[in-house]
C-alpha cells in the first residue's frame, strides 16, 4: 500500500468483479443497438479500458475532457477541454465516468450531449457518492457506492497523482490539507 493511503477501500479483485458485472448488464441492455461509449478524461480512462473488455457487443468509443475541480473542490464551473470527435446522431450514448459526486459535471455533459440528438443517453459510473450530490442527476449503472471520503487510485487522482494505483484507497487527510 502507498504511504499516502490511509486504507484500501476496494481491492483490484473487487474492482474486476464490479466492472465485469457492469459489462454483463450493458451487454444485455444494448444488444442490437448502436452503442457509443463516451469516456470522461482523465479519471475514467482506466475504468473505460477495463469496461470495454467486458463488453462483447459491437460498440464505438470517444473521449471528452472536462475541467471542474481545483485540488479537492469543485469550482462549480465546467469547462470543455476536449470535445467529442463523433456525431451522436443515431447512437445510444453511454457516458462512462469514474465517480459521480456533486453531479454538476455529469449534469452539464448530459445536457450538452442530449442537445446533439443521440438515440438515447445514459450514465455508467464506477463509483457513486450520493452524499455530495447537488445536481439533479443519477447514474443508470453504478458499480459501487462510496463514503464521503477522498478516494484515489484506478484512475482517480489528487493533483494528478495516484491514478496508477491498482486499488481504490482513502487518501490521508494530511496529504490534501484537511
Q: Which residues are catalytic?
A: 101
Q: How many CB atoms lie within 10 A of CB 131?
A: 11
The DSSP secondary structure of 21-33, one letter per residue, reads: HHHHHHHHHHTTS
- Tell me which H or E stretch contains 19: helix 12-30
In contact, 37 and 63? CB cutoff 8 Å? no
Cα–Cα distance list, 50 to 7, 69, 165 (Å): 23, 25, 14
Q: What sections of 31-156 are H helices per DSSP?
A: 45-54, 104-114
Burial class of 70 by CB neighbour count within 10 A (0 to 12, 13 to 18, 19+): exposed
Question: If we measure between CA atoms, which residue out of 13, 4, 30 comes closest to residue 124?
Answer: 30
Amino acid at each position: 500500500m502507498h504511504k499516502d493511503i490511509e486504507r484500501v477501500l476496494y481491492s483490484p479483485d473487487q474492482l474486476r468483479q464490479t466492472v465485469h458485472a457492469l459489462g454483463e448488464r450493458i451487454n444485455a441492455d444494448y444488444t442490437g443497438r448502436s452503442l457509443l461509449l463516451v469516456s470522461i478524461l482523465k479519471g475514467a480512462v482506466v475504468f473505460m479500458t477495463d469496461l470495454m473488455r467486458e463488453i462483447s457487443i459491437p460498440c464505438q468509443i470517444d473521449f471528452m475532457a472536462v475541467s471542474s475541480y481545483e485540488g479537492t473542490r469543485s469550482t462549480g464551473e465546467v469547462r470543455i477541454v476536449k470535445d467529442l470527435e463523433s456525431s451522436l446522431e443515431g447512437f445510444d450514448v453511454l457516458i462512462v465516468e469514474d465517480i459521480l459526486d456533486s453531479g454538476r459535471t455529469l449534469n452539464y455533459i448530459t445536457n450538452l450531449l442530449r442537445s446533439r440528438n443521440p438515440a438515447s443517453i445514459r450514465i455508467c459510473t464506477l463509483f457513486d457518492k450520493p452524499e455530495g450530490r447537488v445536481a439533479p442527476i443519477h447514474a443508470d449503472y453504478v458499480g459501487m457506492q462510496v463514503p464521503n471520503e477522498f478516494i484515489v487510485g484506478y484512475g482517480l487522482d489528487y493533483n494528478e497523482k495516484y491514478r496508477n494505483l491498482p486499488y481504490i484507497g482513502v487518501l490521508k487527510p494530511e496529504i490534501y490539507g484537511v
